[in-house]
Structure 1
Amino acid sequence: MSERRSPTIRRRRLGAELRRLRDAAGITIDTVAERLECSSSKISRIETGHTSVTPRDVRDMLLIYGVSAAESEELVQIAREARQRGWWHPYSSVLNGAYVGLEAAARSVRTYEQQVVPGLLQTAEYAGAMIQLARPDMPADEVTQRVRVRSNRQSLLTQDDPIDLWVVLDEAVVSRPVGGDEVMRAQLTRLAEVAELPNVTIQLLPFEVGAHAAMDGSFTILDFPERGDPDVVYAENATGGLFLEKSDELRRFNYIFDQIRARAMRPEESIAHIAELAEEPLWKWRPRGSSRT
């Protein structure tokens, strides 16, 4: 498998290696910060991959750790690559660049969605309607930019080295007509079509399963091809999302995903049902405002 060149994953990998080398040298973060005349929090952010680091700072850090010239040059080159801009950089004002950078380097993406179709599967019309409904004050050109970014991300599913995508959708996702009847029918048809790709699996979690393990909210698990790049969970919340990387957090979300996909409809049943809904959607026969008994 050829590696997708993502500066985000290189920054994360470089940070992990710098942390390993510092630990091996028995040197504290405070000592490094003092030698480099910077804050300890800066060194910590570098090691967690949350901020970029200049090649010069990498050389200085490796000199402190007593690393050989050959190994130093290799890591300095990674630092250069980590500072390059991904395709998403021009859109940094309208997206979470950290997430898109990790997604671009992932081998597989497993996601559970409670309310909306995931961005990788959205039609442009559905994406535009969703953004406008959530942010009615947003300028039209910014809406267009956000839709364009989502469309660009979808190439991950069809490029020469595509990601493996496994999606579990709560039934609410396919039951609510985002953007109106025509837009939602086209979105359901799109889901059925994309599910034909060998690297895409879609399952529906029906209402009748009742309470389930993922009721706390939507989340995504990203897995990477290199052993040195541990999985990441992106858990969405009202302010955007949170990246989780601790081993106990990863185990918990892997368990949750296994539980809900086991309770969901089988992929072939899910797609057949979605195709049926595109023809006879629930919102067409359910009276608006009707109460349930």
Structure 2
Amino acid sequence: MNQRRSPTIRRRRLGVELRRHREGARVTIDMVAERLGCSTSKVSRIETGHTSASPSDVAAMLTIYGVPDAVTRELVQIAREARQKGWWHPFSTVLTGAYVGLEAAARSVRTYESQVIPGLLQSEAYAIAMIRAARLGDSDQQIEQRVRVRMERQSLLIQDDPIDLWVVLDEAVVSRPVGGDEVMRDQLARLITTARLPNVTLQILPFAAGAHAGMDGTFAILEFEEEGDADVVFTENATGGLFLEKVEELGKYISIFEAIRTSALPPEESIGMIEMLVEEPLWKSKRRVSGSI
């Protein structure tokens, strides 16, 4: 059993199992809602993992479906675990969606970023500068909370059972001085150190690669240990993001990632490029374009 299983992944797994048993018993959502005395939307949200279910509701559902007692006990226990609070719960006011909870349970993450260093690799100073620029309406307290979540997430890379992380960064990410010269140089040095961890692979997609498969936007592919936990793609936007779980969607993004990593510099060359940028950053180059030639 994966020790990093989070309440989010428990809730997601429970929903999948409840839906499977309901469909196997040929029971409709309307029938379940009527028996439980609740709305159909509540049943639907439980099955999609968007809301937690009480152990008593789970037991009642499984009774309707005629599920054996042993299976019922197992799923009721999962329901109890799904209602526990993850470490990120105190920061729920600044979190949108379920990404942090899913990431906490993932076996591996493959991600492409075109604008910013991924949260798992950010220095605190870089995170502050980035969030302050991107979240114009946030208070100082909200920014502090977002940064704290980001720093807590990074323990996934160094704990006893670390996550496998494969990152491809567009060259633009390491060429833009977020936070200014000193902050960005420190961030690049941090990238080099982290990229040498055995569970981290980092590649740079250079400008010279030209047009490439990832030009439609950034994304992360999260893979899970247990067969019953379906992998998922997350595409981020300003209001949160979108989770894609269909087999064809997942396959498309896996193909995109494979094409991007093939076009990118190999890991050692990527680290070498970042080391060069620490010494001679592009943002200080006399050849840069700054509105005039």
| TM-score in same-fold range (> 0.5) | yes
d(CA) in 1 for partners of 2:107, 2:239: 27
What's the secondary structure of 2:98's corresponding residue? Answer: helix
Do residues 231 (structure 1) and 231 (structure 2) align? yes
Deviation at 1:144, TM superposition (A): 1.4
Give the TM-score of the pair, scaled to structure 2.
Answer: 0.97
Deviation at 1:5, TM superposition (A): 3.1
Deviation at 1:141, TM superposition (A): 2.0
What is residue 251 of structure 1 aligned with on the other side? 251
d(CA) in 1 for partners of 2:247, 2:50: 18
Preserved CA contact (<8 Å) 1:89 1:97: no
Q: Which amino acid letter does the alignment assign opposite residue 227 of structure 2?
A: R
d(CA) in 2 for partners of 1:26, 1:138: 48
Q: Which amino acid letter does the alignment assign opposite residue 47 of structure 1?
A: E
d(CA) in 2 for partners of 1:185, 1:239: 30
Deviation at 1:82, TM superposition (A): 0.1
Q: Which amino acid letter does the alignment assign opposite residue 248 of structure 1?
A: E
d(CA) in 2 for partners of 1:59, 1:99: 28
d(CA) in 2 for partners of 1:32, 1:122: 46
d(CA) in 2 for partners of 1:137, 1:21: 45
What is residue 119 of structure 1 aligned with on the other side? 119
d(CA) in 2 for partners of 1:18, 1:153: 30
Identical-residue share of aligned pairs (%): 69
d(CA) in 1 for partners of 2:250, 2:3: 23
What is residue 56 of structure 2 aligned with on the other side? 56
What's the secondary structure of 1:93's corresponding residue? Answer: helix
1:32-62 deviations in whole A, cap 9, x for unaligned? 1121122222211111111111111101100
Do residues 167 (structure 1) and 167 (structure 2) align? yes
Q: Which amino acid letter does the alignment assign opposite residue 106 of structure 2?
A: A
Preserved CA contact (<8 Å) 1:18 1:47: yes
What is residue 130 of structure 1 aligned with on the other side? 130
Preserved CA contact (<8 Å) 2:97 2:240: no
d(CA) in 2 for partners of 1:34, 1:12: 23
What's the secondary structure of 2:5's corresponding residue? Answer: coil
Q: Which amino acid letter does the alignment assign opposite residue 273 of structure 2?
A: H
Runs of 4+ aligned residues of structure 1 deviating over 6 Å after TM superposition are none
Q: Supply the RMSD in Å over aligned alpha carbons.
A: 1.3
Structure 1 segment 1-293 matched on structure 2, within 5 A: 2-96=2-96, 98-286=98-286, 287=288, 289-291=290-292
1:82-141 deviations in whole A, cap 9, x for unaligned? 000000000001123510000000000000001000000000000000111123442222
Deviation at 1:256, TM superposition (A): 0.3
Structure 1, unmatched stretches of 5+, are none
Q: Which amino acid letter does the alignment assign opposite residue 290 of structure 2?
A: G
Structure 2, unmatched stretches of 5+, are none
Preserved CA contact (<8 Å) 1:156 1:162: yes
1:67-92 deviations in whole A, cap 9, x for unaligned? 12222111111100000000000000
How many pairs align?
292
What's the secondary structure of 2:111's corresponding residue? Answer: strand
